[in-house]
DNA sequence: GACGATATGAATGTCAGACAATTAAATGTC
DNA sequence: GACATTTAATTGTCTGACATTCATATCGTC
């Protein structure tokens, strides 16, 4: 967690000890940790140090603290929403900080997204198909900003992965899709390219409706290739400016 | 990040402000934050509060701190290893805390893993194929503990996803595969089931070598079905004990 | 006895000030 | 110029205090 060259601080050590206990299942959801004063005594450190350790754990949503009598630090139930938020933050930063080519990121994202098509075609619901159509309508709005277009694009793809009816799958794929958003926001979508993308979105919905996995896969592959082309255009424009 | 019912603490607010600045790119890798005292003055809080905020960010590997003159808090370069470690922690806890059926988790994992087969068959290297064969040898060792068998199984599948030659894809898939390990550790692998699994691993390697995507996909599908069967056997045994 | 207002106590949240430990740079010495 | 020493900046930790929150117990009134 911390630079291995510097010896870990006391607060880091205490946080690690508690984190290990949680991951190993020695502390269960809902359990209450000892009070900060007790923890301080147990570990032979000051309360301030214990508090720093607890804040580290809170940042990972491992614990939640409540004030007042019989308050304290409780082992948190990690919800899908919290887990997804963390995964998106981590993945977004990873993509932003590692000079990853747009093409590699895109290739990974669409490879992952294709993993849901078979289940999605099998299990898609009318409600989710309606959501996807509604997002397509949004994307067709005139004078839509590029950011809004991207946001709707993300919502469309999240609905697509949700069609697979597997929360765990949705969690992983949502991380992969949303982490791409900052990269996608670099692209300026012309009316021409928007029309192209919307057509492919229509093909995806239609394919899901007919439970035609192959046609969904084809549309996604075309979308991937087209997105990479758009990305390369942007990069070329940047290089020559 | 924190319970929305309770108003966020000052340290949480300060951490959020800095986190947003990092994610938005207003703070770049290597940038140094003001010293704790300066941050305390700027935000009108005590140093202890600032420190709690910084520990939250450190827990997410967003910053790294160095002591001494001209030390301080620096925006951290998020490496693949750090990102993967965090993703694994989050995903493991998500699976452990949400009463997810073994079947759903397994379905998600293998769906995701299949997303790399096409690229893997195309790009597999001799080195990675050798790694996979070596893990198969490990798995064939007599008197191997179930934990060691699982660990080797994870290493095998990580080599498989690495074959795709896409770091971003490896990052996402490693999270999905490794997070399953605690669930897999609940299974006791008989000599019979080990032999079955090893046969399928051999089929995967052979398929990659021949660049035969379909046969790799088939082997993975069989492995998925077999793993789910094993999991159900365990659950039944638990239910009746 | 019932019920509402109040006190109590335990816990987290925050603060102020101090000291220790660490480290790069400035300074001094040969 | 090379090397040892001092210095200053910064994080890490400790102490003790007070503010805030909140469930429970207590008390007073009817």
What pLDDT digit, counting tens, does each position of B179-213 carry? 998 888 888 888 888 999 999 999 999 999 999 99
**In this predicted model, what pLDDT tens digit does every residue of A93-124 receive, in sequence order?**
899 887 788 899 999 999 999 999 999 999 99
What angle separates helix A102-114 from helix A146-162, to the nearest 10 degrees? 30
CB contact under 8 A, A172 and B175: yes
CATH for A19: 1.10.10.10
Tell me which residue of B201, B22, B216 sits closest to B119, measured CA to CA.
B216
Verify that B17 and B112 share a domain, yes or no: no
pLDDT of amino acid B198: 95
Q: Is the pLDDT of residue A2 over 90?
A: no
- Residues forming a β-bridge with A73: A65
The one-character DSSP state at A62 is: S
Verify that B145 and B187 share a domain, yes or no: yes
- Residue A4, Cβ density class (10 Å: 0-12 exposed, 13-18 middle, ≥19 buried): exposed
Distances (CA, A) of A70 to A73, A82, A164: 10, 25, 42
CB contact under 8 A, B111 and A78: no
Q: How far apart are CA A202 and CA A205, in angstroms?
A: 5
Domain that holds residue B137: 81-240
Q: Which residues 62-91 in chain A show a CB within 8 A of chain B?
A: 62, 64, 66-67, 77-80, 82-83, 85-87, 89-91
Give the CA dihedral B124, B127, B129, B133, nearest 10 degrees: -170
Distances (CA, A) of A166 to A115, A160, B228: 12, 12, 15
CATH for B127: 1.20.120.530
Q: Is the pLDDT of residue B60 over 70?
A: yes
Verify that A102 and A69 share a domain, yes or no: no
- Answer whether residue A5 is part of any domain: no
Query: From the CA of B143, how many Å to the nearest CA of chain A?
Result: 25
Which range has the worst mean pLDDT, A3-12, A177-186, B57-66, B82-91? A3-12
Verify that B70 and B104 share a domain, yes or no: no
pLDDT of amino acid A26: 92
**In this predicted model, what pLDDT tens digit does every residue of A176-227 receive, in sequence order?**
999 998 888 888 888 888 999 999 999 999 999 999 999 999 999 999 999 9
pLDDT of amino acid A5: 57
State the sign of the Cα–Cα–Cα–Cα dihedral B97, B103, B107, B109. Answer: positive
Which range has the worst mean pLDDT, A230-239, B16-25, B114-123, B145-154? A230-239
User: pLDDT category, A240, cuts 50, 70, 90?
Assistant: confident
pLDDT of amino acid A200: 95
Verify that A119 and A28 share a domain, yes or no: no
Verify that B17 and B114 share a domain, yes or no: no
Mean pLDDT of chain A: 91
When pLDDT is averaged across residues A160-164 and rounded to a whole number, the result is: 96
Q: Is the pLDDT of residue B70 over 60?
A: yes
Nucleotide nearest to B9 (CA to C1'): C13
- Answer whether residue A3 is part of any domain: no
- Answer whether residue B91 is part of any domain: yes
Verify that A51 and A134 share a domain, yes or no: no
* Count of C-beta atoms within a 10 Å radius of residue A112: 25
User: pLDDT category, B171, cuts 50, 70, 90?
Assistant: very high
Mean pLDDT of chain B: 91
pLDDT of amino acid B3: 42
pLDDT of amino acid A23: 86
- Residues forming a β-bridge with A63: A75
Verify that B102 and B198 share a domain, yes or no: yes
- Answer whether residue B208 is part of any domain: yes
Task: Identify each DSSP E strand in B54-187 by its residue range.
Answer: 63-66, 72-75
* A177 Cβ contact list (under 8 Å, min separation 6): A109, A113, A154, A157, A158, A161
Q: Is the pLDDT of residue A236 over 80?
A: no
Q: Give contacts of A97 with chain B, Cβ < 8 Å.
A: 29, 77-78
When pLDDT is averaged across residues B132-137 and rounded to a whole number, the result is: 96
- Answer whether residue B4 is part of any domain: no
Q: Which residues from the 164-203 window of protein chain A have CB within 7 angstroms of nucleic acid chain C? A: none
Distances (CA, A) of A162 to A157, A170, A204, B195: 8, 6, 14, 36
Verify that A172 and A197 share a domain, yes or no: yes
Tell me which residue of B192, B190, B183 sits closest to B231, measured CA to CA.
B183
**In this predicted model, what pLDDT tens digit does every residue of B12-44 receive, in sequence order?**
999 999 999 998 889 999 999 999 999 999 999
Q: How far apart are CA A78 and CA B98, in angstroms?
A: 8
Å between B67 CA and D9 C1'?
A: 10
- Answer whether residue A226 is part of any domain: yes
* Count of C-beta atoms within a 10 Å radius of residue B180: 25
- Answer whether residue B228 is part of any domain: yes
Location of structure tokens 């030390």: B71
Q: Is the pLDDT of residue B146 over 50?
A: yes
Q: How far apart are CA A90 and CA B38, in angstroms?
A: 28
CB contact under 8 A, B1 and A59: yes
Which candidate from B90, B98, B164 shows the least CB-CB separation from A87?
Answer: B90
User: pLDDT category, A241, cuts 50, 70, 90?
Assistant: low
Distances (CA, A) of B17 to B51, B53, B63: 14, 10, 13
Nucleotide nearest to B66 (CA to C1'): D11
Are A95 and A102 contacting, i.e. CB atoms less than 8 angstroms apart?
A: no
Q: Is the pLDDT of residue A1 over 70?
A: no
Are B95 and B103 contacting, i.e. CB atoms less than 8 angstroms apart?
A: no
Are B8 and B2 contacting, i.e. CB atoms less than 8 angstroms apart?
A: yes
Q: Which residues from the 51-70 window of protein chain B have CB within 7 angstroms of nucleic acid chain D? A: 51, 54, 65-70
Last residue of a domain, one of A75, A99, A119: A75
* Count of C-beta atoms within a 10 Å radius of residue B166: 23
Last residue of a domain, one of A46, A75, A104: A75
Distances (CA, A) of A34 to A37, A61, A71, B52, B120: 8, 18, 10, 19, 49
* B195 Cβ contact list (under 8 Å, min separation 6): none
Whether the CB of B71 is less than 7 Å away from nucleic strand C comes out as yes
Verify that A208 and A89 share a domain, yes or no: yes
- Answer whether residue A65 is part of any domain: yes
Q: How far apart are CA A48 and CA A32, in angstroms?
A: 19
Whether the CB of B5 is less than 7 Å away from nucleic strand C comes out as no
pLDDT of amino acid A132: 96
Q: Is the pLDDT of residue A64 over 60?
A: yes
User: pLDDT category, A4, cuts 50, 70, 90?
Assistant: very low
pLDDT of amino acid B241: 62
pLDDT of amino acid B4: 46
Q: Give contacts of A60 with chain B, Cβ < 8 Å.
A: 59-60, 86, 89-90
Q: Is the pLDDT of residue B122 over 90?
A: yes
Give the number of beta-carbon pairs within 8 Å between A and B.
188
Q: How far apart are CA B197 and CA B139, in angstroms?
A: 9
Verify that B106 and B43 share a domain, yes or no: no
Plot region of B35 (φ>0 → left; ψ -120 to 50 → alpha; else → beta): beta
Are A80 and B20 contacting, i.e. CB atoms less than 8 angstroms apart?
A: no
* Number of folded domains that form chain B: 2
Verify that A235 and A117 share a domain, yes or no: yes
Q: How far apart are CA B90 and CA A83, in angstroms?
A: 6
Last residue of a domain, one of A75, A97, A127: A75
């Amino acid at each position: 967690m911390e630079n291995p060259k510097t010896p870990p601080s006391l607060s880091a050590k205490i946080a690690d000890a508690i984190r290990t206990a949680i991951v190993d299942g020695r502390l269960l959801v809902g359990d209450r940790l000892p009070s900060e004063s007790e923890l301080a005594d147990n570990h032979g450190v000051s309360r301030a140090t214990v508090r720093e350790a607890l804040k580290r754990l809170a940042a990972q949503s491992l614990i939640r603290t409540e004030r007042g009598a019989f308050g304290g630090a409780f082992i948190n139930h990690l919800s899908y929403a919290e887990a997804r938020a963390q995964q998106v933050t981590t993945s977004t930063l990873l993509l932003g900080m590692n000079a990853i080519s747009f093409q590699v990121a895109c290739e990974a994202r669409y490879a992952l997204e294709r993993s849901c098509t078979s289940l999605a075609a099998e299990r898609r619901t009318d409600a989710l198909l309606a959501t996807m159509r509604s997002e397509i309508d949004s994307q067709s709005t005139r004078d839509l900003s590029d950011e809004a277009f991207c946001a709707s694009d993300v919502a469309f793809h999240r609905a697509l992965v949700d069609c697979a009816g597997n929360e765990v799958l949705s969690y992983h794929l949502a991380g992969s899709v949303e982490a791409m958003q900052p990269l996608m926001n670099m692209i300026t979508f012309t009316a021409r390219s928007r029309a192209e993308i919307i057509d492919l979105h229509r093909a995806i919905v239609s394919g899901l409706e007919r439970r035609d996995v192959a046609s969904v896969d084809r549309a996604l592959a075309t979308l991937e290739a087209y997105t990479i082309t758009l990305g390369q255009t942007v990069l070329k424009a940047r290089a020559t400016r």
